[in-house]
Structures are given as C-alpha cells and as structure tokens.
Amino acid sequence: MSFHLCAGTGPGLLLRLFLVFATVSVVVDGMNLWPMPKSVNYGSQTLYLSKDFKLRTEGSYYADGLGILQDGFSRMVDIVVASRAIGPNVTNSHVLAGIVVEISSSDDTLNFGIDESYKLFIPSTGYPLFGRIEAKTVYGALHGFQTFSQLCHFNFTTRNIELHLAPWIIDDQPRHYQTLTVMKNVIDAMAYTKLNVLHWHIVDTQSFPLEIPSYPKLWNGAYSYSERYTMAEAAEIVLYAQKRGINVLAEIDVPGHAFSWGIGYPSLWPSSDCQQPLDVSNEFTFKVIDGILSDFSKVFKFKFVHLGGDEVDTRCWMTTPHVKKWLDKHGMNESKAYEYFVLRAQNIALSHGYEIVNWEETFNNFGNMLSPKTVVHNWLDVGVAPRVVAAGLRCIVSDQNNWYLDHLSTTWQQFYMNEPLTNITNHEHQKLVIGGEVCMWGETVDGSDIEQTIWPRAAAAAALWTPFDKLAREPRQVTSRLAHFRCLLNQRGVAAGPITGGGRAAPEEPGSCYKQ
C-alpha cells in the first residue's frame, strides 16, 4: 500500500496522500507453515503435483547465470519427493504442472538488507495449471520455494504428492490496510500542514478493498473479509476530508497492478499464467472499469480521477493465445495494445465527467495521443516535467529521489529543497505544473508507525505553499521553525518524529522537543 502526500505550487496547495493496499488474504491460524507468512488466503481444492513438475521463468529479468534459481528449484523438488516412489499422474484437471517464477531484479548480490520478499500464487482452475512466485530478487524466490514445499504432502494410499486447500495466495512481504481512524488522523495532520489533496490509491495488485456496487465480487480481492471499505465508509472519508479543505483523488491503476481484480472475476485475467495486466481483449474488462468509475462518480467528487498506467509489463499478452489472436486481428503489437487500453480507459473516465491523471509512463510511450485533459504524474525522470508542460499538458511532480517518504534515509532538508519547477522557466509552462507530491509507499507502514514516517518530512515539502521568492535558500534557516511545528504536531496528537534524523527517527537523548 502507499501514501502520497502532494503539496502544490502556488497559493492553491495540492497535497496528496496515496494509499496502496496489498495482499488479498485471510490470516490462517493453525496451518502448518513455519514461519507463518504475513498473509495467507486459501481455498478447498486438492491439487496433484505432476511427476514432471516444471520450472518456468518467462517474464523474469533474472538470467540465473550462477544457477541459484535452478538449484533451489531442484532442492525443493527433492525435499518434496523425499526419495519416494511416485505413482502415475492423476488424469484430471487438478494436476499442477509446475511453477512460474518472475524475478524483477537481475542482481544476485547477497548482502545485508537485500529484499527477500515474495508472493506465491497457486490457482485451482485453468489448464495447464501453474503456480507462480513473484519476487524482487532470487533470494525472495528461494523463500517462496520453501513455503511451497510446506504446502505439499505425500499421500501414502495413492502414492501422489498432493497440495491441499488451493487456491493459495501467500504474501511474505509486509503490506497494510489502514483503518478509517488512521486515515482520519493523517487527514487531520494534512490540514494542520495546509496540504489539501488526499490521493487514495485504493486498489492495487495485492488488494481490492473497496466495495463496488456495480461489480460486488471485486472486493473479494481484499486482504481479508474485515479489511475492506464500504462505499459508505469511502463517502465518510471524502466528507471528513472536505470539512478540512482537502479533496480526495481516487486511483484505480490500470491495466497493470490489477491481480486483485481477478480474485472476484477471474475472466479479467488473460489466463491463470497471465494474471496482470488486465485482459485487453475482453470487453468485460472495460465494462468493469466503466462500472467502477460510475460508482466512483457518486462518491469521489474531485474533478480528477487517477487511472495509473505505470509499470505495465505487457509481455504475457503476447504469450496468451486468445489475446495474441485478438491483437493480430486488430493489427496491434503489445505497445499499441497498452496505448489502446489507456486511451479507452481515459475515454470512459471522461464520459463520467472526470479529468484524468496518469503516471508518466503513458506520456513517455504515447504522450501525443493522450487526452488534452490529462495530468501527467511524473515520478521517475527529472527531465519529464519540462517535456510534459512544453507539450501543453499539465503535470504533477513526485521526484522519487527526494520526495518518497518510504525512503527513510531521505532527510527533511531534501524534501524542503526539492523544487518542481526546476528547468521550467517559461511562465506559462510553470502554470501547468499543478502540484508536487511527496509519496510514501506503504510496504512498511501500518497504524504503529505511519505518522512518524510521514511527519515532519512531508511538512517540509509544504514549503510549496510559500511564494518562491520567500523560500529560504538554505534549510538551516528554517530548522527552528520546522522543529517548532513538529512539536506543535506532537501537541496535537500527531506522532511526528524528530527532525534530527530521517524517516521514522527516534529522539537521540533526553531533552526539549524543540531541540530534537
């Protein structure tokens, strides 16, 4: 999940707080998994491992030059089989043929602090059936193998290896649902800081927690039954924010980051092996988007809706037969299909009266095709914003090097000194930069640490409220003021950390709040 805080340029400050929700899960008590993963969802189907259980790596960026992945897979198979004589394959549709491993980093350097997270998906329907592990590094995949091995059991009667309680969805990367109380507390602190847009990335790969009356099975993809928001609760948040002068910008991130959609409606997945991006060839996909935005329009009244569009890996569209056939019929390659999807989603949003925000990848790939009502959300390349406004489009700037709150080593001084108008000298172009956004992706925050991770660094970015010619040119000139404001936040019940450290810092020694 994520939080984005956005502070806007000029007198109309634009602040966004962005929540990305993760894993679809129910915590399972009493299951024989050790250690228990952070989140687990399971079903009731028994699967049978194929005697020719395969490892597949399409979509992975990891070349396995040292054989780490293959060796780990072989070890896993060995401990599952345990030198037993396996009987003939079961001749039904419940045979698990293998596992697909997708690793997003090519680096296999092992050192302290390496990302060892993984996600494990075991479907119960489809043909052929393949499990899936997604990991940042090969070492996360190895942990996924270990968990997979614990799901497998030898049946002494049939002489088959069985995997019970499929489908399984296991997330061993810490991600979090935020309660209404936590969200309201953050909104209060935003109001104290004059940050005025809450950007709620309410849906993502791992979780679909929001009730959508038009398609009531979508929130089957929530973390758990209790970690959901009704539409009435969403309206409550909107009203709570409105009363504090804060707009709520809702986001559905399409076509990528949408695995959770298929929990309730599996036909949104191109196949059991291609569970995101959403199926571009299926008209039902766009009917669902239309239904979501129709329901959104009744609650989220801000003029903008965020449609995402970032980090879309379209390769499995080309390897899914019915999607590939559709692409060929329409004369599209995967890049044109990505463009088609984004533009069609934009038109749906426009039909509901929204203007659109899309992440910068859409501009980088087909900027001249975007609706003139598009706001490009820049987060990757510091050179994108000048190109966006030169093209006549509006822009929100979120510099990941200086304005990502989950980067705990980024200091408040960096937040303060970051300037969205860098290299934009034309006055008319400057007007098209409608805001800056400080972002906290929420992999490592929940109700226990969220406030001291956001504050006071996000408040430093609220300097965008200040006219440019009144800004201090050196952070040390405003240190005492920010320290005072941080103590004011504490006095108002906001757990803002000391300014002497990075994110989530603790006081170094006894002393006055104003000196920490």
CATH, residue 61: 3.30.379.10
Alpha-carbon gap, residue 73 to 332, rounded angstroms: 36
- Helix residue ranges per DSSP H, 31-179: 68-81, 138-151
Please give the pLDDT value at position 382. 85
Mean pLDDT of 307-317: 95
What is the pLDDT confidence band of residue 27, given thresholds at 50, 70 and 90? very low
For residue 123, pLDDT over 50 is answered with: yes
Mean pLDDT of 138-150: 84
Please give the pLDDT value at position 313. 94
Residue with more model confidence, 109 or 210: 210
Give domain status of residue 33, yes or no: no
Alpha-carbon gap, residue 516 to 514, rounded angstroms: 6
Given 169, 193, 208, the domain boundary residue is 169
Give domain status of residue 329, yes or no: yes
Given 169, 198, 216, the domain boundary residue is 169
HEC-encoded secondary structure of 273-297: CECCCCCCCCHHHHHHHHHHHHHHH
Please give the pLDDT value at position 460. 87
pLDDT digits (tens, 9 = 90+) for 35-65: 567 788 999 999 999 988 999 998 899 999 9
Give domain status of residue 71, yes or no: yes
What is the pLDDT confidence band of residue 114, given thresholds at 50, 70 and 90? low
Give domain status of residue 2, yes or no: no
Determine what percent of the chain falls in helix, strand and coil, rounding each to the nearest 5: 35, 20, 45
Alpha-carbon gap, residue 409 to 415, rounded angstroms: 11
Based on the domain organization, do 235 and 113 belong to the same domain? no
Give domain status of residue 506, yes or no: no
Based on the domain organization, do 77 and 157 belong to the same domain? yes
- The DSSP secondary-structure symbol of 149 reads H
Token reading at 480 = 């005492």
For residue 502, pLDDT over 50 is answered with: yes
Counting the structural domains of the chain, the total is: 2
Mean pLDDT of 136-164: 87
For residue 339, pLDDT over 60 is answered with: yes
Please give the pLDDT value at position 83. 67
Alpha-carbon gap, residue 32 to 329, rounded angstroms: 49
Looking at every residue in the chain, the average pLDDT score rounds to 86
For residue 107, pLDDT over 80 is answered with: yes
What is the pLDDT confidence band of residue 85, given thresholds at 50, 70 and 90? confident
Based on the domain organization, do 218 and 303 belong to the same domain? yes
Q: Which amino acid appears at position 11 of this protein?
A: P
Mean pLDDT of 70-88: 82
Please give the pLDDT value at position 174. 31
Q: Which domain holds residue 98?
A: 39-169
Give domain status of residue 497, yes or no: no
Based on the domain organization, do 361 and 460 belong to the same domain? yes
Based on the domain organization, do 303 and 451 belong to the same domain? yes
Mean pLDDT of 411-429: 91
Please give the pLDDT value at position 66. 85
Mean pLDDT of 218-246: 89
Largest CA distance in the chain: 80
pLDDT digits (tens, 9 = 90+) for 397-407: 998 999 989 99
- Give one word for 41, left, alpha or beta, with left for phi > 0 and alpha for psi -120 to 50: beta
- Contact present, 210 and 27 (Cβ < 8 Å): no
For residue 444, pLDDT over 70 is answered with: yes
For residue 439, pLDDT over 50 is answered with: yes
Mean pLDDT of 294-301: 96
Nearest of 426, 419, 500 to residue 466 by alpha carbon: 419
For residue 2, pLDDT over 50 is answered with: no
Token reading at 41 = 């969802």
- The DSSP secondary-structure symbol of 498 reads P
Q: Which amino acid appears at position 147 of this protein?
A: T
For residue 4, pLDDT over 70 is answered with: no
- Contact present, 170 and 226 (Cβ < 8 Å): no
- For the beta carbon of residue 45, count every other beta carbon within 10 angstroms: 16
For residue 82, pLDDT over 50 is answered with: yes
- Helix residue ranges per DSSP H, 298-397: 315-319, 321-329, 334-351, 360-366, 384-390
Based on the domain organization, do 438 and 370 belong to the same domain? yes
Based on the domain organization, do 314 and 424 belong to the same domain? yes
Alpha-carbon gap, residue 266 to 282, rounded angstroms: 12
Cis link prior to 128 (omega < 30° from 0)?
A: yes
For residue 476, pLDDT over 60 is answered with: yes
Residue burial 215-234, b: 16+ Cβ < 10 Å; e: rest: beebbbbbbbeebbbeeeeb
Alpha-carbon gap, residue 269 to 290, rounded angstroms: 17
What is the pLDDT confidence band of residue 489, given thresholds at 50, 70 and 90? confident
HEC-encoded secondary structure of 62-102: CCCCCCHHHHHHHHHHHHHHCCCCCCCCCCCCCEEEEEEEE
- For the beta carbon of residue 326, count every other beta carbon within 10 angstroms: 17
Mean pLDDT of 243-263: 90
Q: Which amino acid appears at position 364 of this protein?
A: N
Mean pLDDT of 272-278: 93
**Domain with 187 in it: what CATH number?**
3.20.20.80
Please give the pLDDT value at position 23. 27
Give domain status of residue 237, yes or no: yes
What is the pLDDT confidence band of residue 17, given thresholds at 50, 70 and 90? very low
Of the listed ranges 49-53, 175-179, 219-223, 332-336, the least confidently predicted one is: 175-179
How many helices and strands (H and E) does the chain possess?
16, 16
Please give the pLDDT value at position 113. 53
Based on the domain organization, do 376 and 257 belong to the same domain? yes
Alpha-carbon gap, residue 52 to 67, rounded angstroms: 20
Handedness of CA 461, 466, 469, 474 (dihedral sign): negative
H or E element in which residue 201 lies: strand 197-201
Question: Sheet of 152-155: strands edge to edge?
Answer: 39-41, 168-171, 118-122, 129-135, 95-103, 45-56, 160-166, 152-155
pLDDT digits (tens, 9 = 90+) for 256-272: 999 999 999 999 999 98
Active-site amino acid positions: 311
Mean pLDDT of 402-425: 91
Give domain status of residue 197, yes or no: yes
Residue with more model confidence, 163 or 197: 163
Mapped onto helix, strand or coil, the DSSP state of residue 240 is helix
- For the beta carbon of residue 396, count every other beta carbon within 10 angstroms: 31
Based on the domain organization, do 220 and 137 belong to the same domain? no
Handedness of CA 219, 222, 224, 227 (dihedral sign): negative
What is the pLDDT confidence band of residue 467, given thresholds at 50, 70 and 90? low
Based on the domain organization, do 146 and 196 belong to the same domain? no
What is the pLDDT confidence band of residue 187, given thresholds at 50, 70 and 90? confident
Based on the domain organization, do 160 and 194 belong to the same domain? no
For residue 72, pLDDT over 50 is answered with: yes
Please give the pLDDT value at position 35. 55
- The DSSP secondary-structure symbol of 153 reads E
Based on the domain organization, do 163 and 272 belong to the same domain? no
pTM: 0.68
For residue 322, pLDDT over 50 is answered with: yes
What is the pLDDT confidence band of residue 7, given thresholds at 50, 70 and 90? very low
Q: Which amino acid appears at position 61 of this protein?
A: Y
Please give the pLDDT value at position 163. 93
Given 106, 139, 169, the domain boundary residue is 169
